[in-house]
Structure 1
Amino acid sequence: MDLLQWLSGRAWPLWLAHGVDWRRGGFHEELTLDGLRCDAPLRRLRVAARQVYVFSQAHRHGLPRAAEAVELGIDFLRRRAALPGGGYAWRFDLDGRVTDGRVDLYDQAFVLLALSAATAVLPAGVLRPLALALDGFIDAAMAHPAGGYRESLPPALPRRQNPHMHLLEARLAAAESFGEPRFLEGADRLVALFRQRFCAPAAEPEALQLIEFFGETWDPVAPAVAEPGHHCEWVWLLHRHARLRGVAVPPEAEALRRFVDRHGAGPWGGLVDGVLPGGAVAAPGARLWPQTERLKADALRDPAAPDARAALAAYLRPDGLWHERRLPDGRLSLEAAPASSLYHLTCGILEAAA
């Protein structure tokens, strides 16, 4: 299967036609495999932000009306999601009214990514003040005294590496889109935090394992399960940060890759969801998204990445939808395809095609 052709010729057009709620000005959370329905009774900030990213990339590749979806999404973020005190709300009803006003770090990162990507459609001069205001809010209101950022406002536990990882991704994108020094400087601090807190030696020599969950002062807490997909994301991000900074890729990138190479693959060839510290499989199922992250990491080593491409292609349907997970018995699930996964597919496939 030609992954880029599937993305641009099947997935993007289908989600533009059926995944955008043009009437109410939002994005559907999912599409069922048997009828292209969305049965979800809510909207999430991360879906709005991720779909802005998706359709910004689709517009760059010439998809008609993709720019209209980007404009719809930016309008939702500005008029519906933005909070008076800064940041963006977490949950909404189907008419776009806020139902949960908490400020979630993971979701703020994706808003910053959306603002950066939307420069494909809207003037950077319009989006730059929004991006600077959001990044400034994260630094001022969400910084944690022990380093890094709070999980949310109001604060919650456990603290996680995952939101910091996506904030790094967003700041690198913002640095490229807006050219403001603060974004790359903020990315530098997140890479330093990764090296200080988020990885630990694995059982094998010259391999590193990510730590996912922490207490207030970065003490690791249960569950002590590593996610191979996150290892691959960090490999890609460390390479990207090094490229933007014009420095050598840090050795941690290859050490993370070694752990995935040795312990990440399931019996069907794709990445499993979770691995115990010693390398034993903790979560034998396999969601779609780790396969896209493996594709990004493997393409850095071998642009053809045949094994990663084949593993991802097994999840994809000819109509532009996908199977969201492989069950422990090897079968592919028949649940609705979540809109949030289109971000992973778009980023993974485009990075491998670059």
Structure 2
Amino acid sequence: MPAFPTASPTISPTLSERIASLAAHFDTAILPAWTGPGWHAAMQLAHEALDGATCRPLPDRRYRAMACARQLYVFATSGNLAHADTLFGSLGHYFGDGAGGWIYSVDANGAPQDTMRDLYTHAFVVFACAHYHRAGGSVAALETLRKTVDVIEARFGDGNGLYHAALAPNFAENGAGVLQNPIMHLTEAYLAALEVTGDKWFAERLPAMAPAVAQCFVDPANGCVAELPQGTPGNRIEPGHQFEWYSLVMTAPALFADTPLPASLRRAFDFARRHGVADGTLGVCAALDLGGALQDGTQRIWAQTEFARALAVKGIVEQNPAPLVELEQWIDRFRSRFLHAGGWHECVAPDGAVVRAEMPSTTPYHLLTAYQALCALK
């Protein structure tokens, strides 16, 4: 991966302590939940969600390939390679065709349920395999990564430099169109693949995608990456995705330097911070309209962690202590509003009332990607 600035601004002892507290909560509360009550030993898969109050598994109506891939990333990155080995085996057993294609979900008994070909799923398989290979050197993971990339490139391309969000089970077009979120996660996956393989193809493909992303999704008025292609009725801006895009692109500055995205995303960060983050709580709302007016005030935990990651990245990239001062405040408020002894609250209202209490198996991925960026400051 192109060089990312390694020197960080000097951080305060308070910020260092607060980052350590988040990491400790992750190690002592989050990880054990998914090898304990969150683990379905008979299925060799994580339950889809745990009850937020009791930490008991909620009834499983399905298991998603994306959820399995995210758990694989979490345990590979956290150093539990034995559990990661099991998850990698389950990923291929339940969801893969052996040739780089993946179905969306299986039912509660492990039989294929939704067999559509989802770009989001394929991207997370690449991402998880990259991290699993990096952690343990798995040759099978690297082979799976390469096969999956081949399928993505051969099947999902839209002919305009981007990718269809989903395809029919036989990989035929199904009218799903192009959406920014799976393309963002494909960018994340290809960055991870570049880091572990050093393959120059990824270094060429990523900046080649960027102008197409900008043309299709970036609102010229504010630099934000909209959820739907520009001009689509009902389009919206999710502040969390502005912070997520910012973090991804700014951690590879040389790679994207000659593309429109860095300049746009600096504006998008400012727009999302101004309109999408509550000054009192530093809570990030779910959605804005294109002018910045509040559309959905729900505060989802993943958007909070993306704000934190972006603050950490901004502090490093700009060698600026100001985002880190705000990060210190954010951790204090995040801990009190979203975390509890047994885990986390998935969604809260602006006033702090819990509006979604269950804990999905997919959320530890969001926590860990943010915490890694924070720990890089220390």
Normalised by the length of structure 2, the TM-score is 0.84
In the alignment, the residues of structure 1 paired with residue 339 and residue 351 of structure 2 have an alpha-carbon distance, to the nearest angstrom, of 20
Name the structure 1 match of 2:320. none
5 Å-filtered alignment, 1:3-22, equals 3-22=22-41
Aligned residue for 2:344, secondary structure, equals coil
* Contact 2:38–2:46 (CA under 8 A) maintained in structure 1: yes
Q: Do structure 1's residue 80 and structure 2's residue 133 form an aligned pair?
A: no
Q: Distance in 1 between matches of 2:48 and 2:42?
A: 15
Aligned residue pairs total 340
**Which residue in the other structure is 1:139 paired with?**
153
Rounded to whole Å, the distance in 1 between the matches of 2:60 and 2:252 is 37
Cα distance in structure 2, aligned partners of 1:222 and 1:245: 30
Partner of 1:93: 107
Structure 2 distance, partners of 1:16, 1:272, is 31
Deviates more, 1:184-193 or 1:303-312: 303-312
Q: Give the CA deviation at 1:139.
A: 0.6
Q: Distance in 2 between matches of 1:27 and 1:53?
A: 13
Question: Cα distance 1:221–1:245, how it changes in 2: closer, same or farther (>3 A)?
Answer: closer
Partner of 1:337: 359
Q: Find 1:44's aligned residue among 60, 64, 82.
A: 64
Q: Provide, for residues 45-72 of structure 1, a one-character-per-residue CA deviation record: whole Å limited to 9, x for no partner.
A: 110010001111211xxxxxx2222111
Q: 1:56-67 counterparts in 2 under 5 A?
A: 56-59=76-79, 66-67=80-81
- Report the equivalent of 2:371: 349
Counterpart among 282, 292, 298 of residue 285 in structure 1: 298
Deviation at 1:330, TM superposition (A): 3.6
> 2:290 aligned with 1:263, yes or no?
no
How far, CA to CA, are the matches of 1:37 and 1:77 in structure 2? Answer: 20
Q: Is the 8 A contact 1:42 1:94 kept in 2?
A: yes
Do residues 209 (structure 1) and 221 (structure 2) align? no
Matched, 1:151 2:171: no
> Which residue number in structure 1 is paired with residue 6 of structure 2?
none
Conserved? CA contact 2:283–2:350, under 8 Å: no
1:62 match: none
> Does the residue aligned with 1:189 lie in a helix, a strand or coil?
helix
**SS of residue in 2 equivalent to 1:209:** coil
Alpha-carbon shift at residue 232 of structure 1 (Å): 0.2
Kept in 1: contact 2:100–2:149 (CA 8 A) = no
**3-state SS, counterpart of residue 8 of structure 1:** helix
Alignment pair present for 1:178 and 2:197: yes
Q: Who is 1:229 aligned against?
A: 240
* Matched residue, 2:253: 242
Q: 1:245 to 1:285 in 2, by over 3 A?
A: closer
| Deviation readout 1:298-338 (Å, 9 max, x if unpaired) | 11223451233234323443434111111255412353111
Report the AA paired with residue 134 of structure 1: T
Residues 1:25 and 2:39 aligned together = no
Give 1:159 deviation, angstroms.
2.4
1:288-303 map, 5 Å: 288-300=301-313, 301=315, 302-303=323-324
Shift of 1:344: 0.4
Residue 209 of structure 1 aligns to which amino acid in structure 2? C
Per-residue deviation at 1:197? Answer: 2.0
In 2, the alpha carbon distance for the partners of 1:311 and 1:74 equals 36
CA contact (8 A) 1:288 1:315 kept: no
SS of 1:18 mapped into structure 2: coil
Q: Secondary structure at the match of 2:113?
A: strand
**Corresponding residue of 2:329:** 307
Q: Which runs of 5 or more structure 2 residues have no equivalent in the other structure?
A: 1-17, 169-173, 316-322
The answer to whether 1:130 aligns with 2:135 is no
2:133 match: secondary structure? helix
Q: How far is the alpha carbon of 1:21 from its aligned partner?
A: 1.7
2:73 counterpart of 1:53: yes
* SS of residue in 2 equivalent to 1:333: strand
Q: Secondary structure of the equivalent of 2:124? A: helix
Q: Where in structure 1 are there 5+ consecutive unaligned residues?
A: 60-65
Q: Counterpart of 2:61 in 1: which secondary structure?
A: coil
Further displaced range: 80-89 or 289-298: 80-89
Q: 1:22 to 1:178 in 2, by over 3 A?
A: farther
> Could you tell me which amino acid in structure 2 is paired with residue 239 of structure 1?
M
* AA matched with 2:150: G
Q: Does residue 118 in structure 1 map to residue 132 in structure 2?
A: yes
Q: What is the CA-CA distance between 1:210 and the residue it aligns to? A: 1.9
Does structure 2 conserve the Cα–Cα contact (< 8 Å) formed by 1:164 and 1:190?
A: no
The percentage of aligned residue pairs carrying the same residue is 26
Contact 1:24-1:94 within 8 A present in 2 as well: no
Contact 2:207 2:256 in 1 (8 A): no
Determine the C-alpha separation between the residues in 1 that align with 2:177 and 2:288: 19
TM-score, length basis structure 1: 0.89
Superposed structure 1 runs of 4+ greater than 6 Å apart: 245-249
2:210 maps to: 191
